[in-house]
A = this chain, B = another copy of it.
Amino acid sequence: MSVIHGEMQSYALTVDKLLDHGAKWHPQAEVVTAREGGRLDRIGYAGLRQRSRRTSAVLAGLGIGAGDRVATLAWNTQAHVEVWFAVMGMGAVCHTLNPRLSEAQLADMIAKSGARVLIAAADLAPLARRIAARAGSVGRLLSIDGPAAEGGGPLAAEPLESLVDAAQGEVPWGDFDEHAPCGLCFTSGTTGTPKGVTYTHRGIFLHTLRALQADTMALSTHDSVLLAVPMFHANGWGVPFATPAVGARLILPGRHLDGASLAALINAESVTVALGVATVWLALAEHLEAAGGETPTLKRIIVGGAPISPVLMERIERRLGASVQTSWGMTEMSPTGTVAPPDDPRRAAHLSGRPSIGVDLLLTDAEGVLLPEQRGVEGHLRARGASTIQRYFGETRPAVDASGWFATGDLARIEPDGNLVITGRAKDLIKSGGEWINPAEIEEIIGELPDVSLAAVIGREHPKWGERPVLLVKMRDGSTASDAVLIDALRGRVASWWLPDSVIRVDRMPLAATGKIDKMRLRAEFGRATETRACRQTQHPAQ
């Protein structure tokens, strides 16, 4: 048709509108930040927007314009949220950095993004100086959340707060193409070389509309939402965008995600919904078990980032008195892929929920060929959608296959009712004597044992079989179960050659900054061949 007979309004889906909406329609709804020493700072969305707009003016004064990258190395605080909207609203790109990565990794990421301004939490200023010195591109260091710590290099840290106070003029927000980039996040590096994911305004806006749905995160103006997912971890699951869009209160824990801090914050702010990886809620449950106390206002906990064991899910639900919603996502998906609906009577730890409209999934074989049967069988998971990656930052070739699907690297099954079951990471698979072993299946069975707190299985080099599985466990306090009990739990449920060669007990399971078990570190520490054990067997257990 050559003539369009009538039309709807143009309305670019840009993230500045999310905060504009919160400020206009929910001006008093608060963003609360936990400070050192138990102090709580609070501001309404109207006030936060005003400060954020002034922050844009500061950045413009430093020469930042549309498309320029501004890096942040910061915790979950009001100031960090203000910076996000300041950078994105003016059309620049907010590059979030994970402070728990190595200096070399961080410097490499900044060098790749070419950020000229780095905004760091006060306590991270020394780290910021060191990585700025290595990266080269950074000309200005701004500090937020207190007086910048000294050390790490000569770069002066100017307090952003005082620049905001003195800010002059107005910088327009929005009014650019909704496909413009607004964020940059490198994958965490637990599974290989970090790659940059460029978020777009449109992708984030549509992700926000999904997060607010009754069958997903179901955030409401009546909710107080605790974000225990670091904002540098895949957009904090999009929560800093979703809360102003609906006028929910946003409760930010700062840098402290330990059980005692979270328990205090949940009760001080009557938190109704909390989001974070399972290990954070395990720590909270363990704190309450040890120290006593309840979290009566908490209704729902949305977990993601890694599969949760049924025992852990039941323990969290019982101790916290809240219903767990499982989810699955990836940095490359902005990040949520699936979420189980709130209070689903059929909820279960192994189910990650169904995709909501705007996300599509399918299963292929290892070569990317569509499986003829899509329900009830395991396959390699591929994803499509408006908030799913097309191309990594700085790369020329697409990150999708010829049909436009992104290979997630996850192994999954889709139940007949459409529920997603993540069965493992393709990269975590252990190849032993030419046969595949899936650590996730072993971890799930071990995770069901009441004596076990956390379990991880990795491949250890083996001169004959290539790799052999090793089980690492953190036992619950007071448990007396022997190694044999653990291994016996697997017998009859996995193939005999899947049985781990050894059990290693750890006092503390190494976690990545995202709260996931850090398998890269486990592999580095426990993955090398050990001659004596390797020589005990002369025949592959699979034979």
One of A6-14, A254-262, A483-491 at the interface: A6-14
Q: Distance (Å) between the CB of A384 and the closest chain B CB? A: 6
Which chain B positions have C-beta within 8 A of A392?
6
Which chain B positions have C-beta within 8 A of A208?
357
Interface residues of A in 1-36 (CB under 8 A from B): 1, 4-11, 13, 17-18, 21, 24-26
Contact with B along A234-255 (1 / 0, CB 8 A): 0000000000011100000000
**Would you call A388 and B356 a contact (CB within 8 A)?**
no
**Would you call A354 and B25 a contact (CB within 8 A)?**
yes
Please give me the residue from chain B that is nearest to A242 by CB atom.
B357
Cα(A222)–Cα(B208), bound, Å: 22
**Would you call B9 and A389 a contact (CB within 8 A)?**
yes
Which chain B positions have C-beta within 8 A of A210?
209
**Would you call B215 and A246 a contact (CB within 8 A)?**
yes
**Would you call A388 and B6 a contact (CB within 8 A)?**
no
Answer yes or no: A466 CB below 8 A from chain B CBs: no
Interface residues of A in 325-340 (CB under 8 A from B): 334
Contact with B along A490-530 (1 / 0, CB 8 A): 00000000000000000000000000000000000000000
Best-buried of A198, A203, A213 by chain B (most CB within 10 Å)? A213
Answer yes or no: A390 CB below 8 A from chain B CBs: yes
Please give me the residue from chain B that is nearest to A1 by CB atom.
B67
Answer yes or no: A199 CB below 8 A from chain B CBs: yes
Answer yes or no: A218 CB below 8 A from chain B CBs: yes
Answer yes or no: A126 CB below 8 A from chain B CBs: no
Which chain B positions have C-beta within 8 A of A214?
212-214, 218-220, 246
Answer yes or no: A429 CB below 8 A from chain B CBs: no
One of A162-170, A278-286, A393-401 at the interface: A393-401
**Would you call B418 and A9 a contact (CB within 8 A)?**
no
Answer yes or no: A534 CB below 8 A from chain B CBs: no
**Would you call A389 and B220 a contact (CB within 8 A)?**
no
**Would you call A209 and B357 a contact (CB within 8 A)?**
yes
**Would you call A213 and B209 a contact (CB within 8 A)?**
yes
Interface residues of A in 305-355 (CB under 8 A from B): 334, 341, 354-355
Known A-B contacts A24-B360, A208-B357, A341-B221; A388 and B4 likewise in contact (beta carbons under 8 Å): no
**Would you call A357 and B21 a contact (CB within 8 A)?**
yes
5 new A-B contacts, CB < 8 A, other than A11-B384, A214-B220, are A6-B181, A6-B390, A208-B357, A213-B214, A246-B356
For the complex of A and B, list the 4 residue pairs with the smallest distance between their C-beta atoms, beginning with the closest. Answer: A1-B67, A6-B198, A11-B386, A6-B393
